[in-house]
Amino acid sequence: MDTGDLNNSKSILERAVFIGLLILLVWVPLPLASNRPWAWAIMEVWIFFLSILWCVAWLRGVAEFSPAFLKAKPVFILFVAWLGYLVIQSLPLPPLWVAFLSPERVLSHSLISSENIWLPLTQDSHTTWVYFLKSIAYVQLFSLVLLLANTSNRVRLLAYTIVYSALFQAVYGSIMILSGLEYGFFVKKEYGIGTATGTFVNRNHLAGYLEMALAVGIGLLIAGLRNGKSVCTTRQRLRNSIQLIFSSKFRLRIFLAFMVIALVLTHSRMGNTAFFTSLLVTGVITLLLTRHATRITALLLTSLIVIDLFIVGTWFGIDKVAERLEKTSIATEVRVDVNEYAVDYLQDYLLTGSGAGTFFTVFSKYKGQDASLYFDHAHNDYLEFADETGFLGIALLAGVIFLTALNAVQALRKRSDPLMLGIAFACVMGLISILIHSLVDFNLHIPANAATFMVILAFGFIASTLNLRVEK
């Protein structure tokens, strides 16, 4: 085999890893959003295997560290600190250390045993180790996106993969509710009857997934806009209009409309609120910061809001969504009661938390009689992260979000390439939407949504660093 053949075989290996990544992103939402031990185990093994293959490709000289990967070094430092923190939570520590860091942990142990032994900070070491493995997988997924989405073609293909995956969920979920079949992932639905859930279990989590995918789709629309102004005759405008109808941009716009319809059919109040709020806020930020924003950009963003509201209001009952929002009160909303008890929980584990993944174990001690149901998660991602990892854990994760948002905003302000502007827009809108939704739900604790969120984070660094190349 000559050198050219050898290089080609190594190139095939690196491309195979990228294709494996794309297939993974389509697979993860399918089996109940991978929110079952067997499903997230498949996800973890898949990610670990792709990571090993990339390392083999790197050792053989075909793969290299991308500028985006190198730019994300501060985030990797925070992620490593986060993983190390989870390990510390799981390891036995001297009693005096535990008493200083988490007095409630010592108290809960003393109620069971009077032995003065070394204790881990977590209330359940096994659960925290399971959480640790998932966290490693998410960090590696973030790394793979940065390493493999290293050309304009790959970035675009990655974004379209997320959109097409969400489109399937939207169409499937809509068909199930409109036809009355009500099937989830190969089985009859037990929950969310009468609402769109796709292959997810919870309608709110499908809404969270669609929000992020819609952000990516709108970013692709922005990426397809042309810079500058052109003078067109009436005939040229007519020709352009006909070409638009048969163009990929028009098809993408139709796909996004289907996804908006499915989002409304989830009946997720905060999902719909988060989507439209994030679109409006990100649109304003883009128009204010982007030096290369054109009139057509403003028209596109305005049309997205107007047309989507028209679709929702005309056929799918935005008035009903608004009515449900108006009728929501602290007295009638169970999740508010849960969050109140979760705040009491936090006060006892303020610094280091009760241990990653232990909410369902510890919360039963704090919930009142009115919260008679079983709760494996808080209906607030921020509270659950705080309860389980304390102030230290929240600070590390907040640092990751801040650095990503900073890079994405800088890309909006400095980059001129339409694709990079679109990817930066997708990152900012995706962050805003899911962070709003996280106020009342636990999307970031669902593997499919957490994995998609990691891709959104990676987009922030890709948008600010990628030197565009045409992939042959």
pLDDT at 331: 40
Lookup result for tokens 């596109």: 300
Decide if pLDDT at 372 tops 80.
no
End-to-end Cα distance, the chain:
22
Decide if pLDDT at 333 tops 60.
no
Phi/psi-derived region of residue 180, left when phi > 0, alpha when psi is between -120 and 50, beta in every other case: left
For residue 5, name the pLDDT band (cuts at 50, 70, 90).
very low
- What's the average model confidence in pLDDT over 273-299? 84
Number of domains in the chain: 1
The Cα-based distances of 96 to 84, 108, 125 in angstroms read: 21, 15, 19
CB atoms within 10 A of CB 300: 18
Q: Give a yes or no: residue 415 inside a domain.
A: yes
Average pLDDT, the chain: 86
Structure tokens that stand for 444 in this block: 């970031």
b vs e for 221-247, b when ≥16 Cβ sit within 10 Å of the residue's Cβ? bbbbbeeeeeeeeeeeeeeeeeeeeee
Q: How far apart are CA 293 and CA 172, in angstroms?
A: 36
- What's the average model confidence in pLDDT over 92-107? 90
Q: Give a yes or no: residue 199 inside a domain.
A: yes
pLDDT at 250: 83
* Strand segments (E) across 70-134: none
Closest CA to 454 of 131, 25, 19: 25
One-letter amino acid at 341 equals Y
Q: Give a yes or no: residue 244 inside a domain.
A: yes
Q: Give a yes or no: residue 411 inside a domain.
A: yes
b vs e for 199-213, b when ≥16 Cβ sit within 10 Å of the residue's Cβ? bbbbbbbbbbbbbbb
Q: How far apart are CA 180 and CA 174, in angstroms?
A: 10
Q: Exposed (0-12), middle (13-18) or buried (19+): which is 356, by Cβ within 10 Å?
A: buried
pLDDT at 233: 60
Q: Give a yes or no: residue 6 inside a domain.
A: no
Q: How many helices (H) and strands (E) are present in the chain, helices listed first?
A: 19, 0
DSSP H helical ranges for 115-247: 125-148, 152-179, 203-223, 234-245
Backbone angles phi, psi at 119, to 5 degrees: -130, 150
Decide if pLDDT at 431 tops 70.
yes
Q: Give a yes or no: residue 183 inside a domain.
A: yes
- What's the average model confidence in pLDDT over 255-268? 91
H or E segment at 26?
helix 3-27
The Cα-based distances of 135 to 25, 84, 120 in angstroms read: 17, 11, 19
- The overall longest dimension of the chain from CA atoms, in Å, is 88
Which residue range is the domain that position 274 belongs to? 69-465
pTM to 2 decimal places: 0.91
- What's the average model confidence in pLDDT over 185-210? 92
Q: Give a yes or no: residue 49 inside a domain.
A: no
b vs e for 57-96, b when ≥16 Cβ sit within 10 Å of the residue's Cβ? beeeebbeebbbbebbeebbebbeebeebbeebbeebeee
For residue 112, name the pLDDT band (cuts at 50, 70, 90).
low
- What's the average model confidence in pLDDT over 235-247? 54
Q: How far apart are CA 411 and CA 403, in angstroms?
A: 12
Decide if pLDDT at 234 tops 80.
no
Backbone angles phi, psi at 188, to 5 degrees: -60, 140
% of the chain with per-residue pLDDT over 90: 62
Backbone angles phi, psi at 183, to 5 degrees: -105, 145
Q: Give a yes or no: residue 203 inside a domain.
A: yes
